[in-house]
């Protein structure tokens, strides 16, 4: 389910539609819906990292929900770069709608060291977990 069809749409504080996908900023977390067949790398998302720093600052902890509504690729080795760029990113929930994404999630997890990550079947469950992680 896309953000545009979910109950979360009412709480969006900022939305950026780009060629690489849609980025939604909420009070305590961001949601990304990457476009079909995009290759996600630090170079590609650098603009959104900058916008995250403006929106959340460098001290306020926040979470990220990756809503996998499309097929796309990642550069797993960029995980460490992301962690060093966004030190206040505490957790990432990945909403998965198909089995092949589970394999990618497991591969990506080998590269993340500081950011807690978890897989979810729905946006609602992902949101609850992210908010609970921010309370700890």
Secondary structure of residue 11 in the 3-state scheme:
helix
Q: What is the pLDDT of residue 83?
A: 78
Instruction: List residues bridging with 73 in a β-sheet.
Output: 39
Q: What pairing do the DSSP bridges indicate for beta strands 21-25 and 29-34?
A: antiparallel
Q: What is the pLDDT of residue 103?
A: 57
Q: Which domain holds residue 63?
A: 3-89+96-135
Nearest alpha carbon to residue 74 among 48, 49, 103: 103
Cβ atoms of 49 and 58 within 8 Å: the answer is: no
Number of structural domains in the chain: 1
Confidence at 77, pLDDT banded by 50, 70, 90: confident
Q: What is the pLDDT of residue 16?
A: 97
Question: What CATH number has the domain bearing residue 119?
Answer: 3.30.750
**pTM for this structure?**
0.90
Check pLDDT > 70 for residue 102: no
Rg (CA), the chain: 14
CA distance 34 to 29: 16
């Amino acid at each position: 389910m896309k953000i545009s069809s979910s109950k979360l749409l009412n709480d969006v504080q900022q939305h950026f539609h780009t060629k690489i996908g849609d980025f939604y900023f909420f009070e305590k977390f961001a949601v990304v819906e990457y476009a079909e067949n995009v290759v996600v790398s630090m170079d590609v998302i650098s603009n959104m990292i900058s916008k995250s720093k403006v929106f959340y600052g460098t001290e306020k902890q926040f979470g990220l929900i990756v809503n996998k509504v499309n097929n796309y690729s990642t550069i797993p080795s960029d995980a460490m770069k992301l962690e060093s760029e966004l030190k206040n990113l505490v957790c990432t929930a990945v909403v998965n709608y198909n089995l092949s994404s589970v394999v990618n999630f497991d591969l990506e997890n080998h590269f993340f060291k500081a950011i807690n990550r978890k897989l979810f079947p729905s946006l609602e469950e992902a949101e609850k977990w992210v908010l609970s992680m921010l309370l700890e």
